[in-house]
Chains A and B, each alone.
Chain A
C-alpha cells in the first residue's frame, strides 16, 4: 500500500515491478491528484510553453493495470490506523495493508501576506500556487501576454516561474524576503549575479523585501512599494507533508523520520521522498527521492540495503539562466576555489575537501558542468591544481608549422616534406595519394603548398 502517487512512488513501483514484488504481493497506490503519475519537475517548462502537458505522464493507468498494480487516482487519505493496519479515505473507504509506504511529498508554505485568503477561506482569484499539474494548468489559463505578474519567492522554483512567465510575454517582478536570490543554495555574490541576469532579461528583482498585503492596487511590500499585479504566484518554499504521519503517531521532526532502510518508527511503515527526514536531511529534489525509491524497492524485495544519503545537484531549469548548485556550498566545510566575473555574469565556486569536490556553485558559465558533476558524484580525488583548472577555460590550440618529417596525410602516410616537394595539388594526388583517402588533410595540404619556400632565383 503506497500513499501518494508522485515521482518517488512511480520510481518505487517501477522497482517493485522489476523485482517481481508486484507479482508476489498486491501493490496499491493511492494518489490524491486526478492525473496519472506525471513528471512534476517539468511543470515550469509546461508553463513556459516548451513542454507539451500531454508529454508529462510517467506511467499510464494502462501500465499499472498491465503489471497488476492497483492505481487509485483522486483518492485522498484521511487517516492511517496502525493498530488495525488500515488506511481510510475521506469518503470512508478503508484499505488494509501489510506494509505501508508514505510518499506524501511536500506542501507549499503560504507566506504571511494579508489578503491572500478571502473571508470564505478560498485564495484570492489572482493568487496562484505552483505545485501540482492543476496549479500549473490554472496559471497557464490565466496567462495573457502583457499582463503583470509578481512572483513571491526567489528560490529555484520562483526563478523558474519568473522566467517562464517572462518567456510567455508577461511583465514579471520577483520578490524575495532574504538579502539575495537562491539564499538556501548560494552565497550573496552569486545571488547578486543572478539578480543582475534577471534584470537584464527584463525582470525586476526586489530582495530584502517582504510582501505584506494584497489589495486591489496590488501587492504591497514592507519597504513601501506597491507592485501592481494581475497575477501573484507563490513559490516561497515547501515543507514535508507530515500531517498524516503525525496523526498516526509516527516520529517526525521537520519530516517523517526514517532510517537507512527508509523505515519509520513503525517497522511496517516506510516513507520516502520529499516528506522524509533522513540523517537530519530533508531534500526536496527528485534524484534523492529516486535513490530512496531504488533502495526501498530492494528492501521490500528482501535485499539488504543501506541508503547512504543524498548527493544533491540542484539545477535551475529556465531559459537563459544557467545555475547549478552541487551539495551545500555555503555550509559544507572545505577549501574554497572560486572564480567570479560579474562583468560577464559568471560565478564559479568549488568546495574541496581532501581533494574531493564536496560542493559547488556554478552561475552563468556551465561549460564544465558535465565534468564537475561527474567528479562530485563519483567522489574523484583530484590533484592540487585540478580544481583551479576546472574553473579555467580550455586553452586555445596553437596552429603550428609542421616539420618536414611530420605526417600530413594519415590515410596515405605522407609527410609534410613530401607534400612540400610537390608543386600542385594534382601532383600531390598523383605522386603521394595524399587527400585521396578520407580527404581530411585537404586543407592542411593546400596550406603546405601555399607556404612552400620560394625557389631562389638569384
Chain B
C-alpha cells in the first residue's frame, strides 16, 4: 500500500511515497524489526520537489527496525548509575512524581521543557500547552532559537509578520536576480536547487554570498566571499551604492514603507573601500553586485543560517531586508525577501507556543487579548498562564543553578551535540536533579538522561509540518510503530494526567490539529481554516488561512502586516563579531552541514546507506602550508571554549583566513561561541576566533 507523505528531515519537506513492501494493509501487528519493508518512492505531483529527493530522503526508512531503536522506557538505577529497562507506568509515575516534588520544593519554574523544530505542529502545540497548563511553568523554549530566530525577529520588525518565504519556492524561477546570503541549499536542501537552474536557464542571475565556495556557489553566476560575520557590512555597502546611483525605488519607499531616511544616513558611511576593508570583498565586486541589482526588474534576497547565526544576526537580516525594500521588491510578484528555514518544522515550530514568549498562532504571551483567547480554547483561567520565560540558551545556561530549573524534559532535540559552547551546556544538563529525554535512539543527550522515553518516528505517526514556504503539509502514518513505543502526544497526555492537569490532553493528531486551529484563530499564523482533508486535496495549504479562506501562497501583495500596512526600514549598523581574532586565536571558525547528514546526526549517522565521515577541518592550502597541515592527517582546532581533533581537508574553496567544521558530530559545538543576539537570542554559531595546530 502506498502512503503519500513527506521527508523526515529539512524544511523543504519533500513529498514522497512510502510503499509497504508486502502490499498488505497496516494491521498494527508489525514489530518494526523486519517482517515488513517500507520503501521510498517518488511523489512527482508534489510541487516543491517534483519527485526529486536527496540521499537522506531516499534512505529515510533506514531507521525502521534499526538495532539501535529504543523500544522501552529506560530509568537510571540509583544503585548502579546505569540505565535499566522499565515499564511505561513505572517510568511515567516516576517522572510525574519527581516533577511534582521539585515544583513543590522550588516552584513551578523548577521544571523546564525543551522542544525542537523537527516536531510536528501538533506536538509543538501540545508541548507548549503542556508546559503552561499541566506544569504551569514559564520555562519552555526550543532549538529553533538556534535555527532561524534571527530571520524571524527581523521579519517581524520589518514586515509585522514572519513567514520564511512569503511566496512559493517555485516563484524563484521567475525572478531576475536571486541573492543567496549564507545559504548552501544545493547541499542542505538539494531538490531546491532545480529552481535555481531553471532561473538561470531563463537568463536570470544567481548571486551567492558565502565565505566558502560551496556547491551552491559553484552553480551561481556571482560569488562574494566575505570574512565570516561581515554580511551586514556588505548589505550596507550595497545600499550605499544603490542610493548613490539613484537606484532606490522612491515611489515604492514613499508608498509602502517608513523609516528610510535613518537607514540612508547609516549607509552613507559605508563606501565600497570601507566595506572592502571590513569584509575582505574587493570594492569592484561590490560595485558589480550593486550594478546588477540596480538594473534588475525583479530581485529576490534570501538569507539562511550563514547570515543569521550571529550575535548581530537580526541586524544582518534587517540590513538585507533594507536592500530589498529600497529596491521596492517585497510584495511584488517574483521578488522580495525570504528566509530559507532549516529544520523540518522550523516554521510551524515557532508558531504554536513552544517558544518562551509566545502562544499559538504566533501570539505574544504578554498580550492580554492573546492570553484570553488561548486560555478560553484551553479551558483555563488566563491568570493561570505563566508569563515569558528564558530563551533556549539562557534556559540551558540556568539549569541546575540557584533559581534555575532543576528538571528538564527534552523532545526532539540533541542538545549535547547541537548547543553552542556544548561542553558547558553538557555540564549544566548533568547538574539537573532530573533529565528526561524522549527520542527514537540513544542520542548523546539521551545517554546522560535519568529517564529515556522511546517515541515514534515520522512514518509511524501522523501530523502536520509547515515547510519553509509556510505551506502546511501532512505526514501520514505509513506503518505501525514498534511495540513498546509511544507517540510524544501519548507521553504528554500520560504525564498531564498524572500531574493532575485541569484539562485533558488529546492523543489523536487530527483532534489536536483542530484545537490548534481554534487556538490560532485570529492570530498572525491563523490555521483555523486548514483541515487534514484540505491538505490532502490541495498539496498543502499556505497560512494565514482563517475559516473560509483559500490560504495565502503570496503575502504582502497589497499591504504589510503592521497596523499601518507599511513595511519598516530598520536602521542597523555593523559592529563586528563578538569574539574578534587575536594573536592567540588568529583564525575565523565557521560551521555548517554536509549533504549526507542532518543536524546533530542522531538519525542520519545511524542510517547505514549514508556515508558517515566524522568531523573534518576544511582549510586553504596557504593556511595548510603555514601550519604544516596535510590533507587527511589530523589537526587540532582550539577556541577559548574547547578543542577538536579531526582530519584536515585542504581545499581551495575556503577563505585562507577561515576554517570550517561540520556540526553533525560531537565536537564542533564545543568550540562555538555562546554570545547571543540581543533580540533573537541566537548564539553566534557561525563565527568565533580559533587556532589550528598539527
A: residues with CB less than 8 A from B are 10, 38-39, 41-42, 45, 50-52, 55-60, 62-63, 286-287, 313, 315, 317, 322, 366-367, 369-371, 373-375, 377-383, 385-386, 389-390, 394-395, 397, 410-413, 433, 436-440
Contacts and interface: CB of A to CB of B under 8 A. Distances in A.
Contacts of B219: 440
B51 interface: yes
B657 A440 contact: no
Contacts of B609: 413
A59 B573 CA distance: 14
Contact of B271 (A41, A369, A433): A41
A359 to B, nearest CB: 15
B79 interface: no
B268 A440 contact: no
B275 to A, nearest CB: 10
Interface in B45-66: 51-55, 58
A290 to B, nearest CB: 9
9 closest Cβ contacts across the A-B interface?
A438-B190, A383-B626, A370-B280, A438-B193, A51-B244, A315-B273, A411-B54, A437-B190, A55-B243
A153 B456 CA distance: 78
Nearest to A52: B246
Given A413-B610, A440-B190, A440-B215, 9 more contacts: A55-B243, A55-B246, A55-B268, A315-B277, A370-B225, A371-B280, A411-B191, A437-B54, A438-B194
A411 B280 contact: no
Interface stretch (B130-138, B257-265, B457-465): B257-265
A60 B265 contact: yes
B190 A52 contact: no
A438 B191 contact: yes
Interface in B602-646: 609-611, 622, 625-627
Given A371-B657, A412-B55, A413-B55, A378 B276 contact: no
B383 interface: no
A439 B216 CA distance: 11
A286 B269 CA distance: 10
B625 A386 contact: yes
B210 to A, nearest CB: 14
Interface in B278-319: 279-284
A287 B277 contact: yes
Contacts of A59: 265
21 contacts: A38-B268, A39-B268, A58-B268, A63-B262, A315-B283, A317-B272, A367-B282, A371-B656, A371-B657, A375-B657, A378-B581, A381-B586, A383-B627, A389-B622, A397-B652, A410-B596, A433-B53, A438-B215, A439-B193, A440-B215, A440-B219
A385 B271 contact: no
B274 A287 contact: yes
A42 B244 contact: yes
B264 A55 contact: yes
B110 to A, nearest CB: 38
Contacts of B225: 370
Contacts of B261: 60, 62
By secondary structure, the A interface counts as loop
Contact of A440 (B218, B279, B284, B610): B218
A373 B276 CA distance: 9
Given A315-B273, A374-B280, A412 B58 contact: yes
B442 to A, nearest CB: 26
A308 to B, nearest CB: 13
Contacts of B215: 410, 438, 440
B245 interface: yes
B277 A373 contact: yes
A371 B596 CA distance: 32
Contacts of A433: 53, 58
B586 A440 contact: no
A398 to B, nearest CB: 12
B137 to A, nearest CB: 36
Interface in B179-204: 186-187, 190-194, 197
Nearest to A368: B282
B227 interface: yes
Contacts of A58: 265, 268-269
B595 A411 contact: yes
A299 B162 CA distance: 41
A101 B531 CA distance: 67
A208 B108 CA distance: 84
B55 A55 contact: no
Nearest to B573: A14
B390 interface: no
Contacts of A438: 52, 54, 186-187, 190-194, 215
B583 interface: yes
Nearest to A442: B197
B574 interface: no
B618 to A, nearest CB: 16
A374 B657 contact: yes
Nearest to B52: A436
Given A369-B276, A412-B55, A438-B194, A63 B186 contact: no
Nearest to B626: A383
Residue from A369, A383, A437 whose CB has the most chain B CB atoms within 10 Å = A437
Nearest to B580: A378
A382 B282 contact: no
Contacts of B269: 10, 39, 58
B655 interface: yes
A436 B14 CA distance: 13
